[in-house]
Structure 1
């Protein structure tokens, strides 16, 4: 590894210590909404303080704080200093209505698995990044560049924390970034964009026995749904992300059985690939909705509730190639880069920073948002090894 202190950092990795820290984060309910991530941020700050590292909390909203820390580099002679940002979100989705077999906030261990809300998405990745920074510091590794950690609020709803970080310029010096969203420790370099739309049809109430006296908003929406089944996106197939998708998530309408409904609302979750323009998609769907409403005498509108672009980094980028080399050096395997359908805080950081972004985390993507969510402890420990090794390789070290 070049620097014996890097190996010392690897040797410091302690399974029980790592599991206990993750269990501490899992025990804190940061379900979003409402979020209340400050308690998670405080736990991270206190953990780093115990290791001799400082961290600061930045309140984004009451009870919702980002946490930021850094290992400041010594500077590489004759070169512009590199800055690597480790980033992950502190909130989780709700536990859901399906009963869990394991306490969602209990951090129960069964063999090689640790159960709990956020183990996979993504407190496992957050804990691993914090521990990687801690072990580098405890081992006395002198980085030539700077390693930053940013724990953000609100990613599960609107990327609130990342937006605050970007608007305040808190990581504007970044030259590369790793986001520890679940990837089963595989290198993801692209993710789809998210366009969430709310379509609303407006009709006119009447007695259910005299429907001809009203305008049925649900009927209008039903015709819109029928048209959506044959709607085709304009796009270029992406080698890692494939094709865009559309999902009807929620439909609400009507007052009671014997009343002609005067309003119906439908939500759409559209996942896009690079090159698609969200404004054009929204415009196309509004035209389609208006076309089915007009013959019925219904009115309509489409509102945008979430608008995040697709993100991709070239697989030929030196930082991505270094990441793959790090994986091969650690485990002797060649792992190809790939893409993922979910979105991340990279939707905010990518356009703002224009730096290479790697998505690499120990969680299992298919377990995200599921009951009895879990993480493999071995994979969690391996992610710590990867993060600290990559940081040392990218930023450089003093021997």
Structure 2
């Protein structure tokens, strides 16, 4: 127990904020931990101080492999002051505090420890147990994409992603479509606005059109509910006495299975083309992030094994659930041909992700180690 908690603390103390990422020190820490139990791993360099890690306990080949997956990067600690040092890994009243404790170094550390315990047990696995520790999930999923390109997902039977689930079993998550809309106008002196074209005013027209006329095309999902749209970032203008000639808006759309991202983009473009037809405005659209939603059928063997494992360990009933965030599964599942079964299970609380004084409960972290270990043995033995 103490070794497991200490390993988590060491991981939290390594700053792997993305951008820039700096995942390589985390990968080296994991490599050293696995080596103690005789597990060979490969750190795959992606750039300056950036890396993926892949480790494997070989099985007999009678079954397809099970992949544990987690990302090593974190978001910044933010501007709001913390009660505890975000990189101090302070253990206090049953919690370990620090940036990434919940999202998702707690889950990743638990996977590593579970893997070492399986290796030390000497059990013969019928399929490979693989650890895929990725770079870049918080920005562009560059690590997951690199693993797909390198063929990691050949002969994979299932994947467990250790993102925060508060000990619940998520079988589905939403997709993400991030758009940047740019409105162009014409600059002029602020005292003579009629000589210019105000890009902020045109963006205001677009926002009103988005609010009043934009409608999603979808069927409500029984686990994920409805799609959402958030106006996230807006910027425009250079000085008080200058008519702004550029205004940019970033939009975060979260989608449910069955939605067509290309259709959503076309529907957004249609709105600003209507404004262009009636005004002197000009707009451009850029797609910043395009990740599909993921859902594993609740009838799949992986789901039944996961629910039964959790019930046996924790003495309560579990039900399949869905979550609003996206994970590296948005890259891994299409990369495996679209039918890779995935669950999301982690000790962190998803509501703590990206928050000040982020923490993971020590008890849930230790529970996660037992869950990952037991599920792997059920799936691979």
Mapped contact 1:220–1:293 kept (Cα < 8 A): no
1:127 corresponds in structure 2 to 109
Cα distance in 1 for partners of 2:317, 2:35 equals 37
Higher deviation after alignment, 260-269 or 139-148: 139-148
Q: 1:104-143 deviations in whole A, cap 9, x for unaligned?
A: 0110010110000000000000000000010011121221
For residue 299 of structure 2, the aligned residue among 316, 322, 341 is 316
Structure 1 residue runs without a partner (length 5+): 1-14
1:176 corresponds in structure 2 to 158
Cα distance in 1 for partners of 2:316, 2:348 equals 19
Mapped contact 2:103–2:348 kept (Cα < 8 A): yes
**Count of residue pairs brought into register by the alignment:** 378
Structure 2 residue runs without a partner (length 5+): none
Cα distance in 1 for partners of 2:367, 2:123 equals 19
Per-residue deviation at 1:296? Answer: 2.6
Higher deviation after alignment, 191-200 or 46-55: 46-55
Cα distance in 1 for partners of 2:93, 2:80 equals 24
1:376 corresponds in structure 2 to 361
Write the mapping of 1:228-239 to structure 2, written as runs, cut at 5 A.
228-230=210-212, 231-239=214-222
Per-residue deviation at 1:212? Answer: 1.2
Is 2:238 aligned against 1:252?
no
For residue 180 of structure 2, the aligned residue among 198, 217, 225 is 198
Mapped contact 1:182–1:361 kept (Cα < 8 A): yes
2:350 corresponds in structure 1 to 365
For residue 201 of structure 2, the aligned residue among 219, 242, 245 is 219
Cα distance in 2 for partners of 1:312, 1:92 equals 25
For residue 45 of structure 1, the aligned residue among 19, 23, 31 is 31
TM-score scaled by length of structure 1: 0.93
For residue 189 of structure 2, the aligned residue among 197, 204, 207 is 207
Is 2:374 aligned against 1:389?
yes
1:163 corresponds in structure 2 to 145
> Which secondary structure does the structure 2 equivalent of 1:229 belong to?
helix
1:266 corresponds in structure 2 to 249
Mapped contact 1:215–1:296 kept (Cα < 8 A): no
1:243 corresponds in structure 2 to 226
Mapped contact 1:166–1:172 kept (Cα < 8 A): no
State the Cα RMSD in Å: 0.9
TM-score scaled by length of structure 2: 0.98
For residue 262 of structure 2, the aligned residue among 279, 284, 292 is 279
Mapped contact 1:238–1:274 kept (Cα < 8 A): yes
1:137 corresponds in structure 2 to 119
Mapped contact 2:153–2:335 kept (Cα < 8 A): no
